[in-house]
């Protein structure tokens, strides 16, 4: 797939005014089987016309329309006869562009409010009860819809909480339909997409798969081969299976065994890919190189740097030995593309750049293939299932690139890794047995660099401490610790202290992010 997006699906453009919720809006649109694309707020009306969208959504944002330098959109987009839905700041901007006054609200409204629908025939509110809960977060508001707009709904403090233009397909919502605190929000967004934009609902995973396969087939010429790094995680696995579907035996997967993997991880990758899907799997045994490079290193950032360097060396050496290798496939996802500023017409990079962005350096000399760059994580999982990957792989929790090294606090040695690996496996096994694996976004054990006094049998022990951590999150930017049942924690603790030699104490991490991070290093 080339750097540009799927040209065959008509997009719904989500103009980004800096909203915290912009990706959530796009995901909600995708749930209605429409191809949401997040674009810069100042995209020109001409470019919008070229993209031939089904509809346009103006996101919320932190600014006030009165701020100097407040982000605006090209007013020409209101003349394109394409349906527009403004959300919060987006509604104020659309109304202001149409000559309606926006004013500071008497009191800033933040949190739950009761919405009262005043125009019961409005297509936007079909199926929404007369009174329902919505989520508000605004300082400005529209006191009077004026002659060109019709008010559709109100709250106690906000007289115009939803509007539509009388003659143009322009709509506005002062509240946030995309968040779960607005229980009928998906109905309202669905009405906008299906009834107002005429959404054909053709952005399905099956259709995506067909188009992606066709695109890869036409790009990779006979005789050329594609190298695909497998990490054991969902994204690279789905990427590999997709490539295999498209170009079969011309895909060579490289899996680097760093010696920093979870228990049974290498075996599960070999089981899922070795000899299946028609692709060739090469496993690089690099444990010694990694452990040598980490010997005596305590600093977390230094561990990461060394692991990154050794990984590139090991990968490069293997890739060089693959004849006719022309392409490198990576499982980059849409949020990474958006956040790194790499999306065509997309917003410029923001502060959310984080570890998972990047990957192998460009000087490896391959052309990149990134077939998942239009997809969110849940869509990648759907694609994995469509491609026949096992559920255990598709629902795997994310695992950091540096692996167990950043969970083995202090020095990384074979013996310490062994302790950690066993404790981690017990925790994950018990979590799965309790049916709680999918409720947690990430769960793992950490080996602490301290020892504690204990008593076992008749003797005093002075042994290692294992911390266990489980978190719930949608975006990994913020997270809450999981309220796991006490009897589950008790089983985990008993099993670890009884069967992992060298551990006499287990503690549970009850820190949210912020102030903690998900990983300990
Ligand atoms: P933190 O610890 O920053 O982690 O809250 C957020 C998410 O990123 C993962 N993570 C990493 N992933 N390389 C990666 O590929 C890294 O160095 C790294 N550090 C953290 C972490 O597991 C969580 O999912």
Q: Which of 355, 473, 509, 513 to mutate for ligand 1's pocket (most ligand atoms within 8 Å of CB)?
A: 355
Instruction: Give the CB-side neighbour count of residue 97, counting CA atoms within 13 A.
Output: 22
Contact 283, 266 (CB under 8 A): yes
Compute how many other C-beta atoms are within 10 angstroms of the C-beta atom of residue 421. 22
Q: Do residues 46 and 73 touch, judged by C-beta distance below 8 A? A: no
Find the catalytic residue in 5, 41, 176, 184: 176
338 — pLDDT class (breaks 50, 70, 90):
confident
pLDDT at 145 over 80: yes
pLDDT in tens, 380-389: 999 999 999 9
Contact of 347 with 38, CB cutoff 8 Å: yes
- Surface-to-core class of residue 299, CB atoms within 10 Å of its CB (0-12 exposed, 13-18 middle, 19+ buried): exposed
Per-residue pLDDT tens digits for 263-273: 999 998 998 88
Counting beta carbons within 10 angstroms of the beta carbon of residue 56, is it exposed (0 to 12), middle (13 to 18) or buried (19 or more)? buried
Cα(292) to centroid(ligand 1), Å: 23
Please answer whether residues 266 and 231 qualify as being in contact, where contact means their C-beta atoms are separated by less than 8 angstroms. Answer: no
Q: Which phi-psi region, left, alpha or beta, contains residue 457 (left: φ > 0; alpha: ψ -120 to 50)?
A: left
User: Among this protein's residues, is 178 annotated catalytic?
Assistant: yes
Calculate the average pLDDT of the chain.
Answer: 92
Measured between its terminal Cα atoms, the distance across the chain in Å is 36
pLDDT value, residue 310: 95
Residue 108: the pLDDT is: 80
- Residues 273-309: pLDDT tens digits? 887 777 899 999 999 999 999 999 999 999 999 999 9
Tell me the C-alpha distance between 123 and 112, whole Å.
24
pLDDT number for residue 133: 96
Which one of the listed residues 5, 41, 73, 88 is annotated catalytic? 88
pLDDT band for 510, please (50, 70, 90 cuts). very high
For 266, what's the count of Cα atoms within 13 Å in the CB-facing half-sphere?
A: 16
> Would the pTM of this model clear 0.95, i.e. be above it?
no
Q: Is the CB of 119 under 6 A from ligand 1?
A: no
User: Which entry of 41, 138, 178, 253 is annotated as an active-site residue?
Assistant: 178
Tokens of 26: 């796009």
State how far the Cα of 90 lies from the Cα of 14, in Å rounded to an integer.
10
Rounded CA gap, 368 and 359, in Å? 11
Report the pLDDT value the prediction gives residue 357, as an integer from 0 to 100: 35
Residue 352 CB–ligand 1 contact under 6 Å = no
Q: Taking residues 53-60, what's their average pLDDT?
A: 98
């Amino acid at each position: 797939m080339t750097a540009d997006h799927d040209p065959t699906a008509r997009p719904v453009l989500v103009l980004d005014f800096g909203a915290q919720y912009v990706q959530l809006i796009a995901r909600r649109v995708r749930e209605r089987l429409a191809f949401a694309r997040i674009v810069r707020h100042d995209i020109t009306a001409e470019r919008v016309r070229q993209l031939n969208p089904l509809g346009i959504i103006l996101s919320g944002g932190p600014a006030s329309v009165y701020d100097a330098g407040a982000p605006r959109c090209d007013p020409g987009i209101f003349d394109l006869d394409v349906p527009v839905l403004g959300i919060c700041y987006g509604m104020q901007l659309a109304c202001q562009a149409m000559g309606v006054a926006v004013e500071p609200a008497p009191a800033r409204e933040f949190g739950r409010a009761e919405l009262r629908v005043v125009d019961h025939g409005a297509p936007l509110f079909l199926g929404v009860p007369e009174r329902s809960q919505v989520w508000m977060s605004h300082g400005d508001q529209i006191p009077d819809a004026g002659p060109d707009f019709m008010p559709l709904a109100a709250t106690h403090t906000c007289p115009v909480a939803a509007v539509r233009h009388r003659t143009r397909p322009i709509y506005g919502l002062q509240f946030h339909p995309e968040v779960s605190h607005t229980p009928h929000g998906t109905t309202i967004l669905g009405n906008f997409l299906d009834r107002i934009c005429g959404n054909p609902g053709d952005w399905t995973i099956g259709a995506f798969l067909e188009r992606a396969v066709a695109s890869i087939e036409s790009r990779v010429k006979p005789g050329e081969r594609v190298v695909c790094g497998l990490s054991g995680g969902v994204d690279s696995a789905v990427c590999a299976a997709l490539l295999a579907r498209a170009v079969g035996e011309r895909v060579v997967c490289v899996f680097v065994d760093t010696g920093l993997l979870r228990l049974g991880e290498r075996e599960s990758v070999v089981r899922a890919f070795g000899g299946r899907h028609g692709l060739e799997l090469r496993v690089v045994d690099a444990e010694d190189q990694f452990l040598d490079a980490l010997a005596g290193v305590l600093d977390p950032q230094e561990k990461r740097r060394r692991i990154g360097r050794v990984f590139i060396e090991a990968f490069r050496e293997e890739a060089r030995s693959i004849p006719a290798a022309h392409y490198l496939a990576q499982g980059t996802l849409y949020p990474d593309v958006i956040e790194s500023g790499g999306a065509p017409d997309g917003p410029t990079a923001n502060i959310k750049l984080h570890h998972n962005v990047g990957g192998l350096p460009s000087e490896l000399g391959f052309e990149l293939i990134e077939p998942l760059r239009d997809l969110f994580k849940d869509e990648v999982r759907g694609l994995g299932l469509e491609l026949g990957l096992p559920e255990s792989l598709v629902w795997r929790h994310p695992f950091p690139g540096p692996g167990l090294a950043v969970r083995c606090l202090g020095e990384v040695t074979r013996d310490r890794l062994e302790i950690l690996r066993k404790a981690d496996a017990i925790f994950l096994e018990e979590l799965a047995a309790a049916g709680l694996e999918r409720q947690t976004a990430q769960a793992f054990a950490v080996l602490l660099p301290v020892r504690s006094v204990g008593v076992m049998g008749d003797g005093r022990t002075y042994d290692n401490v294992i911390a266990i951590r489980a978190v719930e999150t949608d975006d990994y930017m913020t997270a809450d610790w999981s309220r796991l049942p006490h009897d589950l924690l008790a089983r985990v603790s008993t099993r670890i202290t009884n069967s992992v030699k060298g551990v006499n104490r287990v503690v549970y991490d009850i820190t949210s992010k912020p102030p903690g991070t998900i990983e300990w290093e």
